[in-house]
Amino acid sequence: MKIEKVVIRNFKVFREVEIKDLSSLCVFLGANGSGKTTLFDVFGFLSDSLRENIKTAISKRGGINEVRSRNSKGPIEFIIKFRNPDMNGEKQPLVTYELSIDVKEGTTIPVIKKEILKYRRGQTGKPFNFLDFKEGEGSAITNEEEFEFEKQNFQVKRETQKLDSPDILAIKGLGQFKKFKAINSFRRLLENWYVSSFQIQSAQAISDTGISEHLSTTGNNLAQYTKFIFENYPEEFKKILDKLRQRIPGIHSVKAEETSDGRIVLQFKDGSFKDPFISRYVSDGTIKMFAYLMLLNDPKPHPLLCVEEPENYLHPELLFELAEEFRDYAKRGGQVFVSTHSPDFVNALNAEEIFWLKKLDGYSSITRASDDRMVKALVDAGDKPGALWLQGYFTGSSPKSK
């Protein structure tokens, strides 16, 4: 599943932003306060809205006046265009999801003014709204398979629904049913987005026993997750250890041992010493590299992985290989969004993978590096993009920019 275009209106620093032709790996640069974290929070906001409701998602961010762009009176709007290989075989139609949020007149109570999910049959066919809701009422197409296989004389069959509240996403309920195929696919995309908030101290902690099939966003279940991968995917775990040995000199093995009191301890064996070190005594860089290798070699990749500043605690020489790990992850089916302040990491990228954010008069814009003719020409000629960034070619993204 791959996102190709995102439109954001009136969400915090993004009053009117469009990002299109998104690649499998997208890296966002920008000065502090330019909106990189806010961009990732778009996906966090939508995930919160799905798990709870719009009212809760907005409340968590300080209320409507903090979420809506300053000096803006219009609705908060999101448009996401994506392709899902599970739909329609190899044709993979471009699916569009639109969400518009405002408040009830005279109040600060948020409601969903519009929620639409649509795609067209073929390249020139008419787009159909498979889901079309306003303020808690609307309909969804129930005979989607007939539409997908281009059945002759296709007649739309709709099911009218009324939600419990106008601040609930329609995809939350309808997306649970396989007959609503497009809706179901987008719900799964939202549910499985991964926005990392990795913390070294959490990853070093001793975990309670249990099953963890994925690494948590903070990394606090790293020991449990290691044990799960070791026991259920031994070949994948061996590959992870081989990569770790190549990048961290001296590491011989990693084990997740269960203690007598029912907890799991992560142990690292240095080939120079007889006894292993438990994770709390291992360097921060070693823990972070191991956690990234575990995350990026997950047998079931997240459809979208968002990582902020992956370079922290890592030696600059490891960043090129980390960029390759992100690319490999995307090739296995998980699109990756990264924000960074590291020129060394940027040097491992091509112009199509780089976007920069610039804040002007309180609002941020986003530009793709390959859309800047000079930047693209210089990168194509062999210049390192990280060096160009430091020289100020990426407007507004470097303290040395003019």
In the three-class reduction of DSSP (H, G, I as helix; E, B as strand; rest coil), residue 265 is classed as: strand
**d(Cα 213, Cα 216) in Å, to the nearest integer?**
9
**d(Cα 45, Cα 163) in Å, to the nearest integer?**
20
**d(Cα 49, Cα 77) in Å, to the nearest integer?**
14
- pLDDT at position 175: 59
Task: List pLDDT tens digits, range 88-114.
Answer: 555 667 889 999 999 998 888 999 999
Both tokens of 246, joined, read 């190549």
- pLDDT at position 212: 87
**d(Cα 334, Cα 245) in Å, to the nearest integer?**
25
Closest of 220, 196, 388, 201 to residue 307, by C-alpha: 196
pLDDT at 343 over 70: yes
Tell me the domains of the chain and their CATH numbers.
2-24+38-193 (3.40.50), 195-349 (3.40.50.300)
**What are the residues whose beta carbons fall under 8 Å from the beta carbon of 362, sequence distance 6 or more?**
13, 70, 71
User: Which pLDDT band, with edges at 50, 70 and 90, does 29 fall under?
Assistant: very high
Closest of 123, 140, 122, 144 to residue 131, by C-alpha: 140
**d(Cα 177, Cα 144) in Å, to the nearest integer?**
12
Closest of 119, 120, 103, 125 to residue 54, by C-alpha: 103
pLDDT at 396 over 60: no
Closest of 33, 60, 74 to residue 396, by C-alpha: 33
